Amino acid sequence: MHESELVLDTKYQNPYEQRRLAILGGLIPEGHGDTALDIGCGSGIISEMLRDRHWSVTAVDLSPENVACAKKKGFEAIEADAITAVRSLAGAQFGLVSATELIEHLDEPYREELLLGARNAVREGGYLLLSTPNRMSPVGLYGYYYAELLRGVPFKAWDQTHKRIYSSFEIRASLKSAGWNVARTVGYHYQGYRFSLPLDVSYRFPMNRFGFNTIVLCSRGN
């Protein structure tokens, strides 16, 4: 479904990642000791942020090295791919599911199953925190329409393990189709190939649909 990849904490030390993590952290609700599921946990950075907000975290990753790292940080950790995880952990047992920088690594047929499975893993009133690159960003529009459609060079958002880069509109539509209520949509990073917009992050329509990264907080209704 997607490749196993060792992720180190050093990946998150550059300014772009630090700012992205700060935005994600600002969206994480208070856990009050409730349970959270971090799918595709990598080195456990998001799991640590969840723990800091008083969530009890179960971390899941396909890489045994990442799972070992999460365990060293004190998390319950499971070695599994994303789809196996949501299939086996269904039953409305979690208060929050995190799936950050994950959906773009899945083969497209599994997109809907991930979002539906995450909903089935969360009890009513629980949350989904999701982030993914955005094809509708300044650089994404250039990469998709010029490089991919005209020149035949797939737009991978600088990561060859990405299977598909979705637009913010596709992500929101898929979330709603899977039964999620989209509470917040955040756009982050507005740089093109040869220019930058005077904007870092946007929480409001329409600009929150056009950042390089789409960050979404959803809630599960009835």
The CATH number linked to 144 is: 3.40.50.150
Number of domains in the chain: 1
In a domain, 128, yes or no: yes
Whether residue 109 lies inside any domain: the answer is: yes
Per residue of the chain (222 residues), give pLDDT as tens. Answer: 455 677 877 888 999 999 999 999 999 999 999 999 999 999 999 999 999 999 999 999 999 999 999 999 999 999 999 999 999 999 989 999 999 999 999 999 999 999 999 999 999 999 999 999 999 999 999 898 888 888 899 999 999 999 999 999 999 999 999 999 999 999 999 998 878 899 999 999 999 999 999 999 999 977
Whether 5 and 63 have beta carbons less than 8 Å apart is answered as yes
Residue 3 domain flag: no
Range of the domain at 97: 9-220
| Whether pTM exceeds 0.85 | yes
Domain membership of residue 2 (yes or no) is no
- Is residue 124 assigned to a domain? yes
Taking the C-alpha atoms of 141, 146, 149 and 154 in order, what is their torsion angle to the nearest 10 degrees? -80
- Is position 1 within any domain? no
pLDDT one-digit tens code per residue, 140-182 = 998 988 888 888 999 999 999 999 999 999 999 999 999 999 9
Q: 137-173: buried (b, 16+ CB within 10 Å) or exposed (e) per residue? A: bbbbbebbeeebeeeeeebbbeeeebbbbbbbebbbe
Domain presence at residue 4: no
